[in-house]
Chain A
Amino acid sequence: MSPLHDYWEQMVTVALLGTDRREPPAPPAGGLADLAADQPLPTASQRLLQQVAATTVVRRAGVMPAQPVELVAPPDPDPRPLTPPSATATWRLVVSDWPVLEDEWVLAVVRAGRRLSPELVPTLLARHRSDAIRHARVCAAAGPLATWMIAWSPRLACVSKQRVVPELVAEVPELPITPDLVALLPAPPTRVAEVVAGGLSSGVFAVSHRPVLVNLVARVQPAALEPLAAALHRVDPSRPTIGIALALADLARLRHHMLTELEPA
């Protein structure tokens, strides 16, 4: 260790005990000793404070790199193309505005034969570490980088004891949808738009239907999304359900956008 480091350690010891109990050490020869000689101070505490300030500045200004460190071995190569940068922004939007779409977003990445942008990998692993199915889905989307990240950062590993069933990983989870609305899932796009927008216009659907309608839009066949968004925008603005209509239109548009964006390259 350098004389400066030793001097600092001695000052820390004195500062812990207090100068009422112990005298501060004499500075090592050089600039610090010159400072003490040029500006003699009457009390031990003042001398310690002066030397602590000067030594701190000298240590910070003299920051030196340590010896170079061996690089870590990179993860195994993953030939799949990355998701486009815009998809990262879409994921952030999904998580903040419509988290009901996140499972499908991750699955769409896998189904498109792409891999997650690397900056999202630790975020997604940490976010789903308590859900074994979702964590496994993220690992599939991230590829070897996920395994590599978990090896370097074990806090990203899954903590759930849930058994991972491959079928569950490969499919979007079911969402609660009322039996009458379930019938709309395979219905023609115009039919879906007609029923949902019509129901909101006529008052058949009220505020209490919002969660099931959200689930419906999150699971309806993708071809229905654009006509549905357009129909929802035509709901009479004077209706009390206009807020739900516009929210569902936003959800439909975002889901259509994310699926289009992630289509196979």
Chain B
Amino acid sequence: MVLSPGQGNRVTPAGYGGVVDVVEGRWQPEQVFALAPRPTSIAAAQPLAVPAKWVAAGCDEQGVWGRCVGGGTEPYEVVAHHVRMRMRCTCPSRVRPCKHVLALLLLWVRGQVAHSSPPRYAEQWLQGWAAADEAAPVAPVAEPSPVSTPDQGGGTASPAPSPPAAPPESSGRDDRVARMMAGLGELDRWLDDRMRTGLADPALAQYRTWDQLAARLVDAQAGALANRVRRLAGLVGAGPDWHQQVLAEMGVLHLLADAGRHLGSLSGDLADSVALVVGWQLRQADVLAGVPHTDHWVVMGRSDVREDRIEVRRVWLRGRHTGRWAMVLSFAAYQQTLDDSFTVGTQVHADLFRYPGALGLRALAGPRHAAPEPALEVAPLSVASAAAAIGQAVVLEPWIERVPVCVLAAPARSEGRWVLTDDDGALPMVAGAPGIAALLACSEGRPVPITAEWTPNGLVPLTVHLPDRAVDIGPVADPSFVGATA
């Protein structure tokens, strides 16, 4: 015998001594209790599960509804589709199901809700669910854009629209150069005005001030700089020394605006770096047409950062034989999925194709020659050597925002903040970096190999390399925004 939900029958399952009460599809109280997101929800619902708290409560074979007289001026409209297990309440609670829904269901299972026809608000909603369930559309998942505006400096790079298949006409290219030069000039004038009027100018506290500049840079096809300006806007007022950080970043923007207008006078690698950071796009096909860098690439660390409406994942690789670092970026918009093909603590025998540039950190992953295998030896540096490596990277690309390092050091406290220290020195970590607690737990305060990202504000720990495994402690994308696995 097949019993459809909502049918008014009492059945005894075959081979089962108990009796399931499905009279009129009504639930048992435990089914309501099991819906509660937390134990306190039922406790909160019980006082509302009395007829006096409800106006025009009713039920039928599909749903149960009513208006709950709460503390507000208007009663909350509550509907539950008890067959399809859908609930709705107009209360502002973010807990689902809320106490009003649970109270209505409790009232219903106790037989204190009379049969009636649904009012308009309930009828529409119940019918809407039935239609929606039948349609059940599947949203297509778009692939990340194949072309990006790369940032050789390990900073942010944002996805960009796909390029045309053929190179642009030379006149179009000239127009674009002219627009970009004009945009860079405008950026520099804007910075100059800020120096004149001062950082205390209230206009700087308004996001619109920065957004207008970013929009003009986007128009000038300097999208990477526009992103940098938007990030800078987020620093204003963010901490007690925000004006120091903002001033330093304005200095870097001036450097880029000036260098971008004098590309012809820069050396080849430096010109390539500046061009990419300013916003010149390079097709992936052109990068992949370059000479591959084949090595056993150790996946040293990973970090996810939300940039505007895009989640950016950086995977830091280091060549087993060359010792050179490389960075592979991936992007995901809302409800897309970040690339998880590189697992921290493994090594991959593969080709990488580097973008041109003085430092040449950014790369595209090419063919793999073998399956990933564990990689536990990471050859960490001392803190002093790591500082020297950071300095060398900044010399090559002064606008760089992130530099990877692997140090043998211990987390320790100094002057109210966490640092990485060894016998020779200490480097500060970014205050509130998400991986600090896990680093402390994994190291128990002892020196361990740690991969970290240097940023102008301090180190961000990404990986703790333990003797038997690597623990990924880098910042993780919000799973409610994108699909991401660390």
Q: A-side interface residues toward B, CB under 8 Å? A: 8, 11-12, 15-21, 43-46, 48-50, 52-57, 59-75, 85, 96, 118-119, 121-123, 126, 145, 148-149, 152-153, 156, 175-181, 183, 191, 194-195, 198-199, 202-212, 214-215
Contacts and interface: CB of A to CB of B under 8 A. Distances in A.
17 contacts: A17-B200, A19-B196, A19-B198, A53-B255, A56-B248, A56-B251, A61-B398, A64-B425, A65-B427, A68-B424, A69-B413, A70-B412, A152-B440, A195-B15, A202-B13, A202-B14, A212-B30
Contacts of B252: 53, 56-57
Q: How many B residues are at the interface, by size bracket?
A: 35 or more
B441 A149 contact: yes
A48 to B, nearest CB: 5
A211 B200 contact: no
A208 B398 contact: no
Contacts of B3: 202-204, 206
Contacts of B413: 69, 72, 152
B17 interface: yes
A181 B32 CA distance: 15
List 4 A-B pairs, minimum CB-CB distance, nearest first.
A65-B425, A18-B198, A180-B18, A211-B34
A73 B5 CA distance: 62
Interface stretch (B49-57, B88-96, B226-234, B387-395): B387-395
Given A57-B255, A118-B441, A118-B442, A208 B83 contact: yes
A176 B412 contact: no
Contacts of B456: 60
Contacts of B255: 53, 57
A104 to B, nearest CB: 16
B479 to A, nearest CB: 8
Contacts of B196: 18-20, 44-45
A81 B252 CA distance: 51
B410 interface: yes
Given A17-B198, A56-B248, A61-B398, A119 B412 contact: no
Given A45-B195, A176-B30, A67 B13 contact: no
Given A45-B195, A208-B85, A175 B16 contact: no
Contact of B22 (A8, A57, A204, A210): A204
A129 to B, nearest CB: 12
Contacts of A121: 441
A75 B200 CA distance: 47
Given A20-B196, A119-B471, 17 more contacts: A43-B192, A52-B254, A57-B251, A65-B425, A119-B442, A176-B36, A178-B31, A179-B18, A198-B13, A199-B16, A202-B1, A203-B1, A203-B3, A203-B4, A204-B13, A206-B4, A207-B5
B13 A119 contact: no
Interface in B58-104: 82-85
Contacts of A11: 247
Contacts of B440: 122, 149, 152-153
Contacts of A69: 412-414, 419, 421, 426
B423 interface: yes
Nearest to A66: B426
Contacts of B391: 60-63
A15 to B, nearest CB: 5
A199 to B, nearest CB: 5
Contact of B195 (A18, A60, A179, A202): A18
Nearest to A207: B85
Given A52-B251, A176-B34, A204-B3, A57 B398 contact: yes
